[in-house]
Every structure is written in C-alpha cells, then in structure tokens.
Amino acid sequence: MKEHKVKIIADINSIYSGDVEEIKDLILQIGDTGIDGITIDITKEGDDRVTKRELYIIKAFCDLAKFTLYPFIANTEKDNELLNEIGIDDFIYTDYDDYYNENGNIRIQSTEHNYPLFTADEYPINYSTFNYLNYIGFIDNSEGIYASIIALVKGAKYIIKGIGENEGRVGLDKIRELCYFRDAMERILGI
C-alpha cells in the first residue's frame, strides 16, 4: 500500500449503530475507497460509546483493510489508558487547554503531528482561513467535497470527511472521488 502524504480519514459516527458485525462489513467496503483511516467517537457525554472489546475488533478490521483507526476521544486519562492498552497511537481529540478556542480545539495526535484541525460546518467563503501555519488539517462538515478539495490544494495534511446521509456527509462514491483527486494530485506533483 502506498503511503500518502495527505491522509483522508472517513468519519463513520453517523453510520455506526453499535453493531460490531455491521461495522466489519462497513470497514471492508470503506477500505475499497482509498482512504487512509476512519474515525469514530469512542466516548459520548462521558459514557462509553464503544466497548474495549468492540474497539479491539474495529482496530483489527482496520488493520486487515490496511488503514488506520483514529478514535475521537475527549482526551481524558481514562481514554488515553484505553488507547495505550489496545496499542493505538494515533487519535483525534478535543484540547480544552488550547488558547485558540475557549470551547476546545480539535487536534490530531499522530506519530508525525500534534496540531489543531480547522473545522468548517458550512462551505467556507474565505479560504484564507486555511492557514496551515496554524492548522495541519481540515474537518469538512460542509456539503459535498469541494471544500475538502480546496483544503487539499492549499496544503492540508489531513482531511476528515463524514460518511452518511446527514447534512455535510457524503456517500462512499464521493469519498472515492476525493481519494482519486488526492492520488492524481500527488502523482502530478511527484510527491
């Protein structure tokens, strides 16, 4: 598998029903799109959303599909202990100590980076906000994949796009398109 410079991560929160058997099939379908990872919120309002057993299974199937599981956590000591126990180094978390935003700033922790991610809940009008001196990647909650493509071109190292029927989420065909665009861009630029 080619190691991509730009990581595309599919957010599966809206389609994860809690059924581990269902998630196995879903992971294998998603793996065919060309993504580099998935994210799922493993804690919700202080309650366990995904059990330790389920997390082991989800990670095993991600490994089988040859992409990374980036759990979304509240960055609590309990969450960090769980990830260490399972052997997960890369994750997405809300950092409430960050001075950028008093409500918390979403960050990515990977073996290469620990930087904030820019979040767009609607189609951004002013693309100067994609200042990658301050942000390493982009969480695209806007309609379609246009904002993600612009963020790719502007230098995002991580793109997180939701999969599902809800507003701001796309189907597997659009995720495949986004991955195709990323691959073509890397091939053309020789990166």
Residue-level pLDDT, tens digit, the chain, 191 residues: 457 789 999 999 888 777 778 888 888 888 889 999 999 888 765 556 778 888 899 999 999 999 999 999 876 677 888 888 999 989 998 876 544 445 567 888 887 777 888 887 765 555 555 565 578 888 898 889 988 998 888 888 899 999 988 888 999 999 999 999 999 999 998 76
pTM: 0.86
How are beta strands 91-95 and 137-140 bridged, if at all?
unpaired
Structure tokens at 104: 């918390």
Position 59 scores a pLDDT of 92
Show the 3-state SS of the chain.
CCCCCCEEEEECCCCCCCCHHHHHHHHHHHHCCCCCEEECECEECCEECCCHHHHHHHHHHHHHHCCEECCEECCCHHHHHHHHHHCCCCEEEEECCCCCCCCCEEEEECCCCEEEEEEECCCCCCHHHCCCCCCCEEEECCCCCHHHHHHHHCCCCEEEEEECCCCCCECHHHHHHHHHHHHHHHHHHCC
| Euclidean distance between CA atoms 62 and 38, whole angstroms | 8
Position 127 scores a pLDDT of 52
Taking the domains of the chain in order of start, what are their residue ranges? Answer: 7-189
Q: Would you say 93 and 104 are in contact if contact means Cβ atoms under 8 Å apart?
A: no
CATH 3.20.20.70 fits 7-189, yes or no: yes
Residues 6+ apart with CB under 8 A from 153: 185
